[in-house]
């Protein structure tokens, strides 16, 4: 009993030592806090560079996907957990702007970003990366079954592709939402539900989230026992498969259906009521520098918005940036998203 207490106590003091340096309470002028979702990542040297240049410590609070992270920011609106929010995308933008979550700021370096990514003329948010949500196909599977991989959205309703598609629930998954919006963009208000009825008849599998869809159902994901060779994922997923393969690969095991790509732009903004406004501005500026932008593909598997940023090899070879991705105006998305999700649920799940 004494031994148990002693070991607990020593482990606890370890914790105190380790974590105590982190300090308690909200932002002091010496730190800037970034609130974001689970997919955010930055490599250590880049983070260290920021801290060195600005003299500020960067603290990161992350959890959930983009939608969940945004909801948490909305929950704490006016008294935010941090200074900068990263991760609002074009699908969620209107909600964030309507709630007045952000402070306007026009960062240096915005001129290096193509106009199509600057979604808010008032500069309440700044674009940081983009990456399309597209259908991915398992090239090996199609080769083995002697079937040509689908090349358009329409082909998915054909009988030869019955039972081969897995998608995520747009109510619970960001890529799922993007794919649904892609179908709205392609078939319009009048036709998109019909399209989904056909997909349902063609035995589409719906799962809750990207992990379940990609790592467990998609046959092309390494280590997966999945049986379905078509999945909704990202344009950069094939490159990720190559980079994180257990043994070196000559070709990407998966491919992208360019016709199905829906544009995703990811933006960041300064939270209203942030404690360290100055630090927040420095962080946004830093996010548009070449150093950060060059780190983006390797860390987050999306593409940098800054023109001329060098890309890793695997990305140049395998990552696809669709020339004409499908898109919808953020305002439209904001106005109709909930209604579309309800209709989708009615048509596909019930």
Partner 1 sequence: MDPGRPALRRGWDVATAAIPAAFVALFFAFPLLAILERGLTSAEGPWLPAGTGGLLWFTIWQAAASTVLTLAAGLPLAWAIGRFRFRGRSLARALVLVPFVLPTVVVATAFLALLPAGYERGIWAILAAHVFFNIAVVTRIVGGAWATIDPASAEAAAVLGAGPWRRAREVTLPQLAPALSAAAALTFLFCFTSFGVILILGGAGRATLETEIYNRAARLFDLQAAAVLSLLQLGAVAVVLAVASVLEARAGAASTLADEDVVLRRPAGRERIAVVTVLAVSALVLVLPLAVLVHRSLGTWGALFHETPALLVEPWQAAVYSVAFASVAALIALAVGGLAALALAKRPPGAADGFVLLPLGASAVMLGFGFLIAFDEPPLDFRSSWWLVPVAQSLVAAPFVVRIVVPALRSIDPQLREVAATLGASPAHAWREVDLPLAGRAFAVAAGFAFAVALGEFGATVFVARAEQPTLPVAIFRFLGRPGAENQGVAAALAVVLAGIAVGAALAAERVADGRGRSL
According to CB under 8 A, which residues from 13 to 52 bind partner 1?
14-16, 18-20, 22, 24-26, 33, 38-39, 41-44, 47
Largest CA distance in the chain: 72
Q: What is the DSSP string of 215-234?
A: IIIBTTSTT----BSEEEEE
Instruction: Tell me how far, at minimum, the Cβ of 190 lies from partner 1, in Å.
Output: 25
Q: Which is nearer to partner 1, 26 or 290 (CB)?
A: 26
265 neighbors 86 (Cβ within 8 angstroms):
no
Cα–Cα distance measured from residue 215 to residue 238, given in angstroms and rounded to the nearest whole number = 13
Can residue 237 be called a binding residue for partner 1 (CB under 8 A)? yes
Residues 80-99 that bind partner 1 (CB under 8 A): 81
Window contacting partner 1 (CB under 8 A); options: 178-186, 241-249, 285-293, 302-310:
241-249
Q: How far is the CB of 89 from partner 1 (least distance, A)?
A: 15
With CB under 8 A as the contact rule, which of the stretches 147-155, 208-216, 264-272, 277-285 interacts with partner 1? 208-216
Cβ atoms of 248 and 149 within 8 Å: the answer is: no
From first CA to last CA, the distance across the chain in angstroms is 56
* Of 92, 9, 148, nearest in space to 267 by CA: 92
293-322 residues in contact with partner 1 (CB under 8 A) are: 298-301
Q: Is 1 in the site for partner 1 (CB under 8 A)?
A: yes
Of 196, 191, 257, the C-alpha closest to 229 is 257
Residue from 32, 56, 67, 320 touching partner 1 (CB under 8 A): that is 67
Residues 6+ apart with CB under 8 A from 77: 99, 100, 101, 272, 273
Span interacting with partner 1, options 64-72, 120-128, 145-153, 303-311, rule CB under 8 A: 64-72
Stretch that binds partner 1, among 2-10, 117-125, 189-197, 278-286 (CB under 8 A): 2-10
* Residue 75 in the binding site for partner 1 (CB under 8 A): yes
Of the residues 105, 192, 214, 340, which one makes contact with partner 1 according to CB under 8 A: 214
The whole-angstrom separation of Cα 164 and Cα 217 is 10
Report the site for partner 1 in 125-184 (rule: CB under 8 A).
169, 171-172
What is the distance between the alpha carbons of residues 297 and 247, in angstroms, rounded to a whole number? 21
With binding defined as CB under 8 A, does residue 68 bind partner 1? yes
- Tokens at 134, concatenated: 């597209």
Nearest in space to 85 (alpha carbons), one of 324, 274, 241, 263 = 274
Nearer to partner 1 among residue 62 and residue 322 (C-beta): 62
Question: Least distance to partner 1 from the beta carbon of 118, Å?
Answer: 26
The token pair that represents 110 in the structure block: 């915005």
- As measured in angstroms, the least distance from the Cβ of 265 to partner 1 is 20
Interface stretch with partner 1, choices 116-124, 180-188, 234-242, 316-324 (CB under 8 A):
234-242
């Amino acid at each position: 009993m004494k031994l148990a207490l002693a070991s607990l106590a020593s482990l606890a003091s370890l914790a105190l030592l380790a974590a105590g340096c982190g300090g308690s309470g909200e932002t002091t002028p010496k730190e800037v806090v970034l609130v974001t979702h689970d997919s955010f990542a930055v490599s250590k040297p880049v983070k260290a560079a920021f801290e060195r240049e600005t003299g500020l410590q960067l603290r990161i609070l992350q959890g959930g996907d983009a939608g969940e992270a945004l909801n948490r920011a909305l929950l704490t609106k006016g008294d935010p957990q941090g200074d900068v929010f990263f991760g609002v995308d074009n699908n969620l933008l209107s909600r964030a702007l309507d709630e007045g979550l952000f402070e306007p700021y026009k960062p240096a370096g915005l001129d290096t970003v193509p106009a199509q990514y600057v979604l808010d003329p008032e500069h309440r948010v700044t674009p940081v990366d983009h990456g399309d949500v597209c259908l991915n196909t398992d090239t090996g599977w199609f080769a083995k079954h002697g079937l040509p991989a689908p090349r358009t959205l329409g082909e998915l309703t054909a009988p030869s592709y019955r039972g081969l598609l897995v998608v995520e629930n747009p109510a619970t998954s960001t890529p799922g939402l993007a794919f649904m919006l892609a179908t709205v963009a392609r078939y319009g208000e009048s036709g998109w539900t019909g399209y989904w009825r056909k997909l349902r008849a063609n035995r589409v599998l719906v799962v809750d989230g990207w992990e379940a869809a990609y790592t467990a159902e998609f046959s092309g994901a390494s280590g997966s026992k999945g049986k379905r060779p078509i999945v909704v994922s990202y344009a950069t997923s094939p490159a990720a498969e190559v980079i994180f393969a257990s043994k070196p690969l000559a070709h990407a095991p998966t491919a992208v259906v360019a016709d199905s790509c829906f544009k995703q732009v990811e933006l960041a903004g300064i939270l209203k009521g942030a404690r360290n406004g100055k630090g927040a501005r420095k962080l946004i500026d830093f996010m548009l520098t070449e150093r950060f932008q060059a780190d983006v593909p390797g860390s987050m598997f999306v593409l940098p918005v800054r023109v001329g940023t060098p890309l890793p090899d695997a990305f140049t070879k395998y990552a696809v940036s669709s020339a004409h991705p499908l898109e919808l105006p953020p305002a439209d998305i904001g106005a109709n998203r909930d209604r579309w999700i309800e209709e989708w649920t009615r048509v596909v799940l019930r």
